[in-house]
Structures are given as structure tokens and as C-alpha cells.
Amino acid sequence: MSIDREKQILEILLKEKKVSVPDLAKTLFISEPSIRRDLQSLETQNLIKRVHGGAVLEETALSKNKIPFLIREYEQSGAKAMIAKKAINFICDNNIIFLDASTSCYYLIPFLASKKNLTVITNGVKALTKLAEYGINTISTGGNLLNSCLALVGEEAYKTIDMYNADVALFSCRGVSDDGYLTDISPEENYVRKRMIQRAKRSYLLCANEKIGKSYFHNLCHKDDITEVIHE
């Protein structure tokens, strides 16, 4: 079993939606038996569903317990970089910024380095590491760790957020419904986002076009409750 190869398979599946064992073996230069073992491992993790001759993404993996951060990091990476380039125009030198644990916000971090004297408050574990790499002044919310998305949530996170008055809150979610509600599969993450929105002068949703028109079971707020939706 190869974790790196499993990631490659997931990346291909996110683009193609369905794969065959022979095609994977050819693309990854691996034997078909090895590919079948990788697919079995991914199915055991509830990330894919094996079908005759290949595999498809497991739709029921759309739950906070089953989607690890590594999958979300692959999704729409090009779109997220485009959105980040637009979002940086809404950030000024000396701003205090709330940043959630989404991969959309993670892609924004390199662009933040172009601004001076920022303070970023985030509940994203991967975001904390990336912000440190760019030397950006950073405050962790603390809180309970959601292993599936590497997000810090709960009362301790709320307490930290409530201590600050931010200029900007930047966040993402799983979908925007047809009637304008920002929705997600993780109430815990939404509660943190809601607190960030409340404590910021301006709030922006980073949203790939593919999320528009999609609805999940937990509502964060209505799009009219935030400053703007930034999309491709």
C-alpha cells in the first residue's frame, strides 16, 4: 500500500469521477494487482466505491467523518487560486483577519504575504503552519480538533474569537443553495464561521462556481448577511 499513490488515485478520481484499473496502472506505472490493493484500501476508508473494472468516488463520503483534508485540498485547486487572487484585493495593510480552516482560505495564504503588518486569527491547523512559513503574525483560536478537516472548534475557539474585533472574515463552505443560504456538512465548523462573521467589519465567502446551487443539511447564514461572495 502506498499513501502517495492513494493520493494520486484520489486526485484522478476527483477530476475524472470514474477510473478503471487498467488506466490507473498505465498512468501510475504500477501493476494492476497493486492498483486493486490501493482501491481496496481506499474503499475501506469509505472514500471510494469499487465497481466492475475500476472505482468511483463514494458519494456518502460527503460527511465530516469521512472526508479527510487531503481530498478537499485537491478539489478545484485552480479555481481556489483564482479566487484567492481576487480576495487579496479586499485586504489592506495592518488588517486583522479571521481565516477559517477551509482549503479555499489555505490557498489565500501565499497572497497574504504581499500585505504588511497583518494579524491572522485562524482555527485551521494547516493554515497555522503555512502562515508561519510566510512569517505572518498569527493567533490560533485553540479548541477541540476535528480530525477530518484539521479544524479547531468548540467553546475555546469561540472565546478566542470573541476577544478580537477583526477588519475582515474570510471563509468558505460546501454549497450555496438556490435560495441563497450558505450550507455545509459540519455544524461545528459553521458555528466557528458564524462567530467570525459576527466579530468582523466585513465578511467574504470564497466560493468556487461548482458550489453554487448546492445545498447541504446545515445552514450557516444567508448570503445577504455577509459583505460579498467572491467566486471565479
Q: Report the CATH number at residue 126.
A: 3.40.50.1360
Lowest mean pLDDT among 45-54, 119-128, 178-187, 193-202: 45-54
One domain, residues 39 and 121: no
pLDDT in tens, 152-175: 999 999 999 999 999 999 999 999
Q: Given a cut of 60, is residue 66 above it in pLDDT?
A: no
Q: Check if the beta carbon of residue 153 is closer than 8 Å to that of residue 143.
A: yes
Q: Given a cut of 90, is residue 145 above it in pLDDT?
A: yes
Closest among 109, 102, 101 to 84, alpha carbons compared: 109
- Range of 34's domain? 3-61
One domain, residues 112 and 159: yes
CA separation for the pair 127, 138 (Å, rounded) = 10
> Which residue has 478580537 as its cell numbers?
164
One domain, residues 110 and 213: yes
DSSP conformation letters of 65-114: TT--HHHHHHTTHHHHHHHHHHHGGG--TT-EEEE-S-HHHHHHHHHHTT
The answer to the question of residue 57 being in a domain is yes
pLDDT computed for residue 74 by the predictor: 62
One domain, residues 57 and 89: no
One domain, residues 214 and 148: yes
One domain, residues 82 and 48: no
Over residues 24-33, the mean pLDDT reads 93
One domain, residues 50 and 129: no
The answer to the question of residue 15 being in a domain is yes
Length of the chain as a residue count? 232
Q: What CATH number did the domain enclosing 17 receive?
A: 1.10.10.10
pLDDT computed for residue 128 by the predictor: 97
At 80, the pLDDT band (50, 70, 90 cuts) reads confident
pLDDT computed for residue 67 by the predictor: 54
The better pLDDT of the pair 64, 187 is held by 187
Over residues 62-71, the mean pLDDT reads 53
Closest among 181, 174, 231 to 207, alpha carbons compared: 231
Task: Please tell me the pTM assigned to this model.
Answer: 0.73
pLDDT computed for residue 60 by the predictor: 61
Domain end among 43, 61, 79? 61
Q: Check if the beta carbon of residue 231 is closer than 8 Å to that of residue 213.
A: no
- The fraction of the chain above a pLDDT of 90, given in percent, is 71
One domain, residues 103 and 201: yes
- How many degrees, rounded to 5, is the angle at CA 128 between CA 48 and CA 189? 55
Q: Given a cut of 80, is residue 3 above it in pLDDT?
A: no
The better pLDDT of the pair 168, 110 is held by 168
One domain, residues 138 and 181: yes
One domain, residues 101 and 178: yes
One domain, residues 16 and 96: no
The better pLDDT of the pair 6, 215 is held by 215
- How high does pLDDT run on average in the chain? 90
- Counting the structural domains of the chain, the total is 2
One domain, residues 43 and 86: no
